[in-house]
Structure 1
Amino acid sequence: MEYQHGGDIYTNHVKIDYSANINPLGVPKGVAEAICGAVADCDRYPDSQSASLRNKLSKFHGVSENTIVCGNGAADLIFQVVFTRKPKEALLIAPSFLEYEQALRAVSCHISYYDLKAEEGFLLNVENLISWIQESNIRFQMIFLCNPNNPTGFAITRERMEAFLEFCRTNRIFCVVDECFNEFLEEPKRYSILDSMSCLEWNHVFLLKAFTKIYAMAGIRLGYGICNDGKILEQIHSLRQPWSISSLAQAAGEAALSETEYVENTRKLMRKERDFMKGQLSSLGFHVFDSMANYIFFKDERPEALVQDKLLYHQMLSKQVLIRSCGNYRGLDGTYYRICIKQRAENEEFLTILKTILEKGE
């Protein structure tokens, strides 16, 4: 089975991984210490309700802990909410995160797609989306929105999201909003619907967040969802296996919420290195899209890349550098790529290898 995501360092011989969008600052010291400290209690079952973690999350976000559910990463919760709702008709934005489609297909849901256009920079226009839904005459029961979107990295402001989610409420459409990359944005609150959920008392929204990316905890597997509909959360609890979040993950999550300086330093780093990498890739002749997150989405427009599938991917891999080919996203092909953003020394090493490939055509 072909690996569908970034981070496939297990079947490839890789020295530098630019395919997974993980915080380049690495696991925070406090989180690592909490994990080590929790090892002593590994002879006990973890708390199946993640009560202490949910309590800390409620204080961190200013929401009731009764609106929070934790999972074994965000992907776990994607499947749980889909299995709970069991929609017959769903809408996906394309391109976007592959796991949404996989979860929907698991419940035999019919999927329609709203295709973003390359000539528009793969940007989502909310007003056009609403018009398209109205004209489709399809009674959608579920919609997934990734904000900022993966792999394009573009984010929609809270006001625009509110307008769309109000439309969905009127039309009885349940919305899953994925904000797993929100913390990498320069102004995360400007793009998050968290406050809107409380103020507008939305019951038709499931907000998805994760520790995976921002705290570099991909191997720990910890995500959480926020939803005002208690019945949905009860159904999720009844469906999931009781010990899906390990005691190590729960301890790591609690510690991570105290890492405010770490997160601020991350945003400063992202702002600087994102602009640097965008400029460098553009100067090398790539078509770079307007990413706002911790990754960059671009197109290889070299003539030879148009006739050799995933040419740049294979060229970089020959140098033991792994990048994310986006050829398996709907609407994209092997000329589109996504790379993460790391620290300056790593980025310069990446660019040196890339320049060598472009100069020699290797």
Structure 2
Amino acid sequence: MTKIHIHGGDVYRNPGILDFSANCNPYGMPKGVKEAVIQALEKAECYPDVSCDALRKALAEEEEVPEERIICGNGAADLIFGLVLARKPKKALLPAPTFAEYEQALSSVGCEIVYVPLSEEKGFVPQENFIDRITEDIDMVFFCNPNNPTGILADRSYVEKLLQRCKRSDAFLVLDECFIDFIENSEAYTMKAYLETYTNFFLLKAFTKKYAMAGIRLGYGFCSDNQTLENMQAVMQPWNVSVLAQEAGIAALKEKEYVKETLSKIKAEKEWLLEKLRKLELFCYPSKANYIFFKGPLHLKENCLKQGIAIRDCSNYPNLEKGFYRIAVRKREENERLTEALEYILNGEKRK
């Protein structure tokens, strides 16, 4: 089988592994969500609500976005593919590195892809040259904020310039905010407030990371262009969001205390983990998400696997080479196990 889907989180070919390669909430799915999934089994003999009405209503209240601007999908990737298929861009612009699914979706419709490399010397921070490259021949632009895998966060003024340039060039901006809830003061960075002003953009989010619901598959997006939403619904599969996923999403949005408590713990654990990694003389980039992007020895992934730990080798991302890695922030005892393994590996490297 061709290896198209290269991602973290492959626990199926690595049973029993301690997984730092996938960036989900380490405190697990909320109890209320698990209970909702079990209760939803009673309704699983019926087709799901094709419009996800109850879920979209709950999302509208939570996100303060009109219900008619919301579309749900079988994970964020489902919406990425649906959006690309609906609009069929001929030429698209991507920063490099960034999330791999954008490229795969664009390639599926024969779209030409232009990459703007993010400079390692400038810490992979997006520069004005990315905005300048949005010319009239560009149909679609993807931008992930904070970016995956680097965790670098662009401020609102930069993203607003992106929106303005896309509007002038008649390009459609896809803004991925799947990790934005992990940053402090996320309301100062999200672009939800710009939905009504700009019809040329789609804002992407998901339940996957924040609620540890990767296996349930539930994503959602906002767009003020009704035609784009209608075209997406026309090309996406009906009943793509299961009864179980819809009920899980509704239940997750009620988990206010879980979110507050676990995000606070993740923040503290990230600071602890960063300190340990720096003591090991590993260069860490200033990620604002729930993961750390760093440089290390060339065979660190393989050596970690020997210690029963999976980390994300980022060398398959465009504009990254061997030696770039990403690790999720997990619970203290797991983070301790990782740092002990890294210390053992790195000390071995020094002895060579």
Counterpart CA distance in 2 for 1:38 and 1:128 is 49
Counterpart CA distance in 1 for 2:329 and 2:44 is 35
Counterpart CA distance in 2 for 1:214 and 1:151 is 17
Q: Does 1:354 align with 2:352?
A: no
String of CA shifts for 1:132-184, please: whole Å, max 9, x gaps: 44xxx561000000011000001112222112211211111100000001111
Counterpart CA distance in 1 for 2:195 and 2:217 is 25
Contact 1:73–1:223 under 8 Å retained in 2: yes
What does residue range 304-343 of structure 1 map to in structure 2 within 5 Å? 305=298, 311-343=299-331
Counterpart CA distance in 2 for 1:129 and 1:239 is 30
The one-letter amino acid paired with 2:292 is: I
Q: Does 1:214 align with 2:202?
A: no
1:14: how far off?
Answer: 4.1
Counterpart CA distance in 2 for 1:220 and 1:149 is 23
String of CA shifts for 1:48-80, please: whole Å, max 9, x gaps: 111110111111112211111100000000000
Contact 1:184–1:266 under 8 Å retained in 2: no
The one-letter amino acid paired with 1:213 is: K
What 5-or-longer segments of structure 1 have no aligned partner? 306-310
Q: Does 1:116 align with 2:104?
A: no
The one-letter amino acid paired with 2:192 is: L
Decide which of 144, 156, 161 is 1:158's aligned counterpart: 156
Contact 1:14–1:317 under 8 Å retained in 2: no
- Percentage of identical aligned residues: 46
CA gap 1:262/1:233 in 2 versus in 1, 3 angstroms: same
The one-letter amino acid paired with 1:155 is: L
Counterpart CA distance in 2 for 1:360 and 1:120 is 31
Find the residue that maps to 1:176 and give its secondary structure: strand
1:112: how far off?
Answer: 0.4
String of CA shifts for 1:279-316, please: whole Å, max 9, x gaps: 2111112111010000000011x4xx3xxxxx000000
Q: Does 1:16 align with 2:12?
A: no
Counterpart CA distance in 2 for 1:33 and 1:13 is 26
Q: Does 1:344 align with 2:332?
A: yes
Find the residue that maps to 2:173 and give its secondary structure: strand
Partner of 1:189: 187
Q: Does 1:144 align with 2:142?
A: yes
Decide which of 54, 57, 61 is 2:56's aligned counterpart: 54
String of CA shifts for 1:288-346, please: whole Å, max 9, x gaps: 1010000000011x4xx3xxxxx000000111111100010001112000000011111
TM-score (norm 2): 0.96
Counterpart CA distance in 2 for 1:240 and 1:326 is 30
Partner of 1:205: 201
Counterpart CA distance in 1 for 2:96 and 2:16 is 29
Q: Which moved more, 1:34-43 or 1:101-110?
A: 34-43
Counterpart CA distance in 2 for 1:214 and 1:79 is 22
Q: Does 1:224 align with 2:224?
A: no
TM-score (norm 1): 0.93
Find the residue that maps to 1:37 and give its secondary structure: helix
Contact 1:157–1:192 under 8 Å retained in 2: no
The one-letter amino acid paired with 2:346 is: L
Q: Does 1:77 align with 2:79?
A: yes
Partner of 2:130: 129
Partner of 1:93: 95
String of CA shifts for 1:206-244, please: whole Å, max 9, x gaps: 000000010000000000110000011111111111111
